[in-house]
Amino acid sequence: MSEVVVVAVITPKEGKADRVEELLRNLADYVHKNEENTLRYHLHKETKKDTPEFVMIETYKNSEAFEAHKKSDFFGDLGKKFGDENLLAKPLCILELDPIAGFAGR
C-alpha cells in the first residue's frame, strides 16, 4: 500500500478567517495527537489577500488512514461547525494527488 498525499484548500468568508484558522489549528493538534498513520499534516496560510485561503498539506500512510481521518468524529464536527457558523465562502477543495516529479528536501 502506498502513501496518500492530499491537499485541502479552505476559503473562509470575509471576516471569518480568524475563526477558521482557530478551528484548523485545533484539527491539526487533534490529528497530531490521535492519528498515528497521518504522516504529515501542515497548515499553511496565504499571505497576499485580505481574506486568506488556508492550505492543508497531508500525507497518510495508506488509503485506510485517509479514510479513518475523514470518518473521525473530530473531522465531522469541524464540517458541522463550518456549516452552522457559515464560515466558508465556497466548499472545501480536497485534492488527492500522486507525486510525479521533484524532491522533498536536500
Check whether 57 has a pLDDT greater than 70.
yes
Does residue 87 form part of some domain? yes
Looking at residue 86, what is its pLDDT? Answer: 98
More confident residue, 105 or 85: 85
Looking at residue 40, what is its pLDDT? Answer: 96
Nearest to 26 by CA among 82, 67, 66: 82
Does residue 93 form part of some domain? yes
Check whether 50 has a pLDDT greater than 90.
no
Percentage of the chain surpassing pLDDT 70? 99
Q: Give the domain CATH number at 59.
A: 3.30.70.100
> What is this structure's pTM?
0.91
Q: Where are the beta strands (DSSP E) in the chain?
A: 4-10, 38-45, 54-60, 93-97
Cell numbers of 35, please? 492519528
Count of domains in the chain? 1
Domain containing residue 87: 4-97
- At residue 68 the predicted structure's pLDDT band, cuts being 50, 70 and 90, is very high
Does residue 103 form part of some domain? no
pLDDT, tens digit, for every residue of 9-29?
999 999 999 999 999 999 999
Integer-rounded Cα Rg, in Å, for the chain is 14
Instruction: Say what angle helices 17-34 and 73-84 make with each other, to 10 degrees.
Output: 170
